[in-house]
A and B are shown apart, each in its own frame.
Chain A
Amino acid sequence: METAWIDGKPASPEDALRAAGELLDAGRLPLVTGLRTDVVGLRAAFSLARQVGAVIDHGESASLYPFIAAMRDGGAFLASPAEMRRRADRVLIVGDAVGECDVALLKMLAATAPDLGVRTRGAGRRLMTLGSRAISLPGNAEVTHLDCASDAITDVVGMVRARLAGRRAGEGALSDAAIATVATFLSEAGFAAVVFAPTEFGELGAEQIFGLVRDLNETTRASTLPVLGHSDAMGAALLATWTSGFPLRVSYGRGPAEHDASLHASDRQLSGEGEADVVVFVDALAGAVSQVPVFATPAILIAADPAAPDAARVVFKVAAAGRDHDGVLYNARFGSFVAKPAETTSELPTAAAILDALADQQAGRGAEAA
């Protein structure tokens, strides 16, 4: 079985490592990205990035940043899905994206009813969707729909906040009556859960929704369930935070970790507009096929299912974490990391093993050169 390729031709793993090392040596600023791997793989990716002075980011960090930016700017109330399943008597689903990227969460909330709390238990669960189309959900839950274009929602949330504060809401996409309906739906909740996808509204929209929930907590209880789309990106951001102090988009190019949310973003660097001139791309999870880019610079691809032997200058085929070997992955439903046992056995190396071998090799070369 072939497991490594150089310029599209089968190669021994040793030769491929050497070729990968030469690419890294030739570059001035490497980019370590993709980062679809388990915790041990992420740890190895950070070690490599530190070793070779790379920029490091997850390939889908753009799916997190509206959330991270809004949260660290203004704070937030955050809930776990499992607690909201038992607690929330009212669920407000804001926008259209949630129905696309986590319909399972909505189905779970629609199919269950609150069973905790004097204020919440017993009356069942009412859901309201605020977006450009109704979402059809199973179960007995009562679902109300208010029609509102996605790009008007940030303003509408502002109007709801004004209404709750007893101020005149002003003119907007929804009538006074509709604004009052939303405000009452939330303020009469025993515990309201607001579900939304931060990417749909950007940082400012997410801040507005966090602000709404903060306001609600002056008189009742409410929290949010931000839906992020790529749970492995969230796992990578958490590990990056305890490892470097920052949630991805970090450069070790000048030694210590430096964070810049726009400069060190993977999409900017991968587009060829960035400073990175060689890429290590890790794509070692099973499941949804990620968008491995067409690389603008020389690249080393470490992938569970490489699209083609010439998808990059050097390609390693590795085991998929949580499928071919045990792995720890972030689980959005749980809201934390989960140990996922392998489903099958595999002779393939792990992504971590390749990344570690690469880091060791480069450390050795550094020592020789010095």
Chain B
Amino acid sequence: MLTRLKGGHVVDPANGRDAAGDVFVEDGVVVEAPQAGREADETIDCTGLIVMAGAIDIHSHIAGGHVNTARLLLPEWHRAFSSRPGETALSRVGWTTEETGLRYAEMGFTTVVEPAMAPSSALHAHLELADTPIIDKATLVVLGNDDLLMSMIREGESAGAIADYVAWTVSASRALGVKCINAGGSAAFKENVRQFGFDDVVPDYGVSSRQIVKSLQTAVRDLGIPHPLHVHCNNLGVPGASSDSIAATIKAAEGDPLHLAHIQFYGYGTEGKRRFSSRGRELAELVNATSEITVDIGQVMFGQTVTISSDELRQFAGSKQASPKKSIIFDHEANGGGVVPMDYKRKSFYNALQWAIGLELFLLIEDPSRVFFTTDHPNGAPFTTYPDIFALLMDRGVRAKWLDALPKSVVKMTSLPEIEREYTLAEIATMTRAAPAKLLGTPDRGHLGAGAVADVAIYRPGEDKAAMFGKAAYVLKDGDLVVRDGTVVKHRYGRALTLRPEADKAMKTRLDRYFDDRYGLSSRWFEVPDGALGREDPFKVVPCRA
């Protein structure tokens, strides 16, 4: 069936389109305009509407053991989840895989990456993703605090051997990339170390965080994994030390791609009488000057949320500020992690400045293809706040209103009031469509050229950008009309995008023995078999680079 999306304003920066025109869809993919004489079987009138590819979220904690623990810890969170008070449907249904898929789809998001899947929790994460409707999903598998990697580095094993181990882990866990979270920091915390920087050494291994990051960066490059190593730096949230850690990590990229996650949490200095200040401008300049670096923001928005992280050291430190006062700290193999509820308050100097630093970074990083739109859901804010963030980026007037409501002491500490930039629709489409597809190595999406999957988000433009992005007029997923007027009208399941790098046979034998001898675990338990998810065709394999 040929569908014509007729006469909308097509914003498709990957293909240089930013004008009125048609988009044609057939058998789930975007196709060229048909030859004269062929009529579309179905036409959706997009006159006056904005037509974009479906949006891609590269970093959102939506599935897996830690996310589910947050649900367990916070039954009350279900009521707090909605960013739209007055709506009670969410509070009654709860924060579920089902709701996650529906809410994302209603905003025009069609692909979402769960960025922190522990190897031991891979099957759990994929089971949740398989129950998350509408959207396509992907995961990043976490390495960098695991005994085997640190032992291999300590023993001076070859880059090839390390790459084999990484390949096995990615392949077994069905990941689309590799993430490294406070490299060495969780392992050090198990040794009762309470502060850990980029050049600190993990006790017993004699291996620094820098060595771990560089080893993984090399392995990811050598394996041809399209998504660069995704790094959560050391000292997240610590004034001064955070910005030192991220600066050191950026310098350590040394010309090879590196993605740095939720950098807002690293833009903190120690100036001012509260010893808490913005280093947003300096950090943005550093990113601007380092072209091999990509970043996402981790924007903070005000209200109750919960932080979910495999940075066990950081979560332990943060547990002192838990609100409500309860938290879970995990001592699992490798990373461990923690779940700590947070209530970001507009009237708090610290929280308000965090909010401003995120926006400084969004607005001062010049290239929209190197800065990605995230709240680190739910760590900075739930993803349901996205429409408000779009409005803040696109409209100075909205920013001015928000700034007016902040403590005056905060406004003095941020350059945000002077920043005039307003994101254009084309820049929004670059940041949330074209660039993420490139970053993830998924050329079948993020654009509306012929051959792309027909994931399309159609918005009703207006002065109120939050309203525009909050409820898409139409969303197509693989060519199916799934959302109309901000409401899901067709239920279906997407797939998980995965890599399948070939793992070396000898490495497999070695890992069988390693997990059994050391942990008493079967290496088979780390694998996610095709049939386990109980869905037809649950995976879509993305090729590695040759």
List residues of A whose CB falls within 8 A of some B CB.
Answer: 39-40, 43, 68, 71-80, 82-87, 108, 112, 115-119, 121, 190-191, 217, 220-221, 223, 238-239, 241-247, 256-259, 326, 328, 331, 333-339, 352
Contacts and interface: CB of A to CB of B under 8 A. Distances in A.
Interface in B189-205: 189-192, 203-204
19 contacts: A39-B534, A71-B72, A72-B72, A72-B75, A78-B330, A78-B331, A86-B518, A87-B190, A118-B191, A217-B316, A221-B190, A241-B68, A241-B72, A243-B96, A245-B94, A258-B92, A328-B123, A338-B123, A339-B524
Contact of A82 (B322, B328, B519): B519
Interface residues of B, number: 57
Interface string B514-529: 0000111100110111
Given A77-B328, A242-B96, 4 more contacts: A117-B191, A118-B191, A335-B332, A339-B524
Given A83-B331, A87-B331, A117-B190, A71 B71 contact: no
Nearest to A352: B534
B411 interface: no
Contacts of B485: none
A282 to B, nearest CB: 16
A361 B217 CA distance: 53
B508 interface: no
Contacts of B147: 86, 116
B73 interface: yes
Interface of B: 63, 65, 67-68, 71-75, 78, 89, 92-98, 120-121, 123-124, 127-128, 131, 147, 189-192, 203-204, 316, 319, 322, 325-333, 336, 518-521, 524-525, 527-529, 531-532, 534
B530 to A, nearest CB: 10
Given A119-B192, A241-B72, A243-B98, A40 B534 contact: yes
Contact of B73 (A72, A82, A243, A333): A72
A116 B147 CA distance: 8
B191 A337 contact: no
B520 A78 contact: no
A247 B131 CA distance: 16
B332 A80 contact: yes
Contacts, number: 165
B94 to A, nearest CB: 2
A303 B459 CA distance: 50
A246 B192 contact: no
B534 A75 contact: no
Contacts of A82: 333, 519-521
Nearest to B62: A242
Contacts of B131: 43, 242-243
B328 to A, nearest CB: 6
Nearest to B65: A336
A46 to B, nearest CB: 10
